[in-house]
Amino acid sequence: MTALQIENIGTLAEGLSGYLEKPQINHVRRAYYYAEQAHEGQMRRTGDPYITHPLQVAGILSHMHMDHQSLMAAMLHDVIEDTGITKTAIKTQFGNTVAEMVDGVSKLSRIKFGSQAEAQAENFQKMAMAMSRDLRVIMVKLADRLHNMRTIKVLPPDKRRRIARETLEIYAPIANRLGMNDMRIEFEDLAFEAIYPLRFRRIGAAVRQVRGNRKEVVTRIQTSLEACLEREGLPGRTIGREKHLYSIYDKMRSKRKSFREIMDVYAFRIVVDRVDTCYRVLGAVHSLYKPVPGRFKDYIAIPKANGYQSLHTTLFGMHGLPIEIQIRTEEMEAMANNGIAAHWLYKSSEELPSNAHVRAREWVNGLLEMQKNAGNSLEFIENVKIDLFPDEIYVFTPKGEIFELPVGSTPVDFAYAIHTDIGSTCVACRIERRLAPLSEALESGQTVEILTAPGHKPNPAWLGFVVTAKARTGIRHFLKKQKQSESTALGRRLLTKALASFGASLDKLSREAVSSLLEQLRLDSVNRLFEEIGLGNRMSHTMAQRLIDLNENPTGAGVGGNLLVRDAQSSVMNYARCCNPIPGDRIVGYISSERGMVIHTGDCNNISELRANREKWVEVDWDPEIQGEFTVEVRVELEHQRGIIATLATAITGAEANIEKITTAERDAHFSIVNLLINVRNRVHLARVMRKIRMVKAVTRVTRVKSRKARKPSVRADNVVH
C-alpha cells in the first residue's frame, strides 16, 4: 500500500470525487471540521496538529475506496477518547451509524487494567463486539493503527517495540485474515523495522544489491511469459513480484534458509479477465516450462478462509531456476490486495465481494462465540491468536460439504467446526470409512464422519491434541461449567454439615436471613454462595455462623455427621499426592482456595503444618458405596533379574489393577528399588495386589508409601495435590 500523504481536506475531497457523490463528500468535510474544532490545541508527538492523524486515517480508507460513513468515523475516531465530546453528541450531529462506529473504535483508556496484556485483550474484545455490529469498524481501526505505525519513529524505543509487537501479533494477522494483503505487508515491514532496525537495514541493503543482478533474468522470464500468452491469444498482464523484507526475514528464520536460497526464486503474477482464462493460462505456462510436482494449488475452486482466490504453480524455468506463478482475475487481484474492502470497492460485482463479506462475517461470529465461552479476556486473546495463524487443510463431510481447518487439526476439531454440540458429544470417527482415533491428524482431501452419542461429554484429554480455537474454547467452557456444578453441590453439602453442627438446617432458615447474607457478600444467588464455599473461597463454618446470627429464630444445639466422600474423580474434590488416600484409610478434608476440598490420610506428614487454620478442616468419611479407581504408591525391593519389570506388571494386572507409572533406582549391584503408581479400588484391593507382588520370587520386600514430606516446611495444601 502506497503511503499517500493527504495535505488537507481539499486534497482528500478531490480524491473522493472519483467515487463518491458530492453530498457524501460534504458529509466527510463536515466531520473533518467538527473533529478539527474538537482537537483544537492538541498536538501529536511529531509536532503536527492532532487533526493530521484523523485526516491521514481517512486518506488510507479513501485509497481503498471505503464509503463516506467509514471516512466520517475515521475523522471522528479519537473525539470520544481525547476530547469532552460524547457519543450522544456525535449521534445528534452525524447519526447513529457513525456514532456506533466511532464508539467501537475508541480505546479503553479510561479503564484501569491489571496488566498491559489484559488491557490489550480487553481492547480487542471490545473491537470484536463492535465488528459484529459493523465490519467497517475494523477497517477504521486498522487504518488508525497503520498511520500510527507510519509515525512510530517519534516514540521512545521501548514503547516503539511494544506497539510494533502488538501490531505483528494482532493487527497484521487480522489484516491477513480479512484478505487485506497490502495492509498486512506494510504492517509487517513497519513492525520489523521498529523491532529489529539493524536487521531491517541489512536485509534491505542486500535486496537492493541483488535486485540489480536479477533485473536481466526477471526481464527475460517476463518476456517469455508475455510471448506465450500472446501466441495462445490469452489477454492478461504479467507483473513481477518481489518478496517484502519481513517475509524474507521470517522465511530465513522459520525455514532455516539462506538469503540466497530465498532470493533465487522468481515470482510473477498473471492477471486476466475471466475465471476460465485463468485455467487456460495455467495450461499455457505448463507447456512453456515444466511444472514442479506437488506444487500446484487451486484457491479458485476452494478459496482461503479470508476469501483469497488464485491459481498457484511452481515451474522449472530456464537453467532450472524455480519460478512461482499466481494466476487470477482483476476482481481476485482487488480481493487479494484489499480483502473485505473490495466489498465496497466492487459493489456492482455480486459474486466475489459478497463471498468475502460472508466469510468475514462468519469469522467475526466465531470470535463472538469464543468470547462468550472464554473464561477471561486473556484466554480469549490467546484463542484468537491461534485462530489468526491458520495453515489450511480442506476436509469433507460424507455429504461432500467442505470444511477448512488449520494444519494439524484432528477429528475433534472437525466435529466442533461442524457444530459445538457435535464436538461435545463425539465418541468416535471414520476417516475414509475406516475407524480412526480422535487424536489422528487430518490431511487435505479426506472424508471424515463423526459418530456421536447423546449425553456424552468432552474429555479433558482432548485439550492435549486439539488445535482450533473453537474446539479448545468449547472443551474449556464445558469443563468450567462441570466444575461449577460440582463445586455448587460440594458447597451445599459443606454448608448443610456446618449448619447441622449448630442444630440448624437450610430449610429452617428464614428467607430474609439468606437474602441478607447474599446482599452483604454481593452474591446474586444462593447457588453462587454454595459455589464459593465449594471452591474454598469462603468457609462453610463462618457462613453457617453468620446465617444463624441473621436468622430470627435460631434452633437449639446439635451435632451433624461427617461429610461423605462419594466421588473417585471430581474437579473440586482432590486427593493429595503426598499421601494418596484410598477407601479404607482414615481421612480428613482441607478446604483449599480455588481447588475445592483436598483429601489427606489422617496420618499424613503434611497436615500437621496445616492444622493452624482450623476452620478450613472438615471431618470426612468414605461413602460405603464409593466406586472408581484411586492412585496409590507402592515401593518394591527386589533382586536384579532379566525381565523382572514385565513379571511385576503381569502380577499387578493379574490382580485387576492398572499401572500408572514405574520408576527404578539401583540400590547396589544386586538389588533395585522399584516405585510403582498403581490404581486400586480400596485397601482390600491393594492388599490383594501386594500379595501378588510378594509371590514374585525376586521380590524381597513390598511396602506402601503412605506419606511423602513436602519439600518446603511452609507448603500450602494446594501445592501437594495433583
The CA radius of gyration of the chain, in Å to the nearest whole number, is 33
Count of residues making up the chain: 722
- Burial of 560 (C-beta count, 10 Å sphere; 0-12/13-18/19+): middle
566-581: b (≥16 Cβ within 10 Å) or e: bebebbbbbbbebbbb
DSSP state of 614: G
CB atoms within 10 A of CB 103: 19
Q: How far apart are the C-alpha atoms of 437 and 422, rounded to whole Å?
A: 16
Reduced to 3 states, what is the DSSP secondary structure of residue 82? helix
Residues labelled catalytic: 81-82
E strand intervals along 330-482: 392-396, 402-406, 426-431, 434-436, 448-452
Cα–Cα distances (Å) from 677 to 470, 504, 579, in that order, read 35, 43, 12
Q: How far apart are the C-alpha atoms of 155 and 149, rounded to whole Å?
A: 10
What is the enclosing helix (H) or strand (E) of 594? none
DSSP state of 597: E
Grid cell, residue 665, equals: 533406582
- Helix spans in 419-505 (H): 420-425, 469-501
Positive or negative torsion for Cα 345, 348, 353, 354: positive
431-468: b (≥16 Cβ within 10 Å) or e: beeeebebeeebeeebebbbebeeeeebeeebeebbbb
Cβ(521)–Cβ(580) below 8 Å: no
What is the enclosing helix (H) or strand (E) of 330? helix 330-338
The backbone region for 139, taken as left when phi is positive above 0, alpha when psi lies in -120 to 50, beta otherwise, is: alpha
Q: How far apart are the C-alpha atoms of 152 and 171, rounded to whole Å?
A: 15
Q: How far apart are the C-alpha atoms of 223 and 230, rounded to whole Å?
A: 11
665-697: b (≥16 Cβ within 10 Å) or e: eeeeeeebebebbbbbbbeebbeebbebbeebe
Reduced to 3 states, what is the DSSP secondary structure of residue 6? coil
Strand pairing partners for 678?
632, 659
Reduced to 3 states, what is the DSSP secondary structure of residue 200? helix
The backbone region for 320, taken as left when phi is positive above 0, alpha when psi lies in -120 to 50, beta otherwise, is: left
> Residue with C-alpha cell 474423580?
569
Cβ(72)–Cβ(98) below 8 Å: yes
Do the bridges between strand 563-565 and strand 617-622 make them parallel or antiparallel, or are there none, so unpaired? parallel
Cβ(607)–Cβ(589) below 8 Å: no
Amino acid at 617: W
Grid cell, residue 405, equals: 481447518
Cβ(110)–Cβ(103) below 8 Å: no
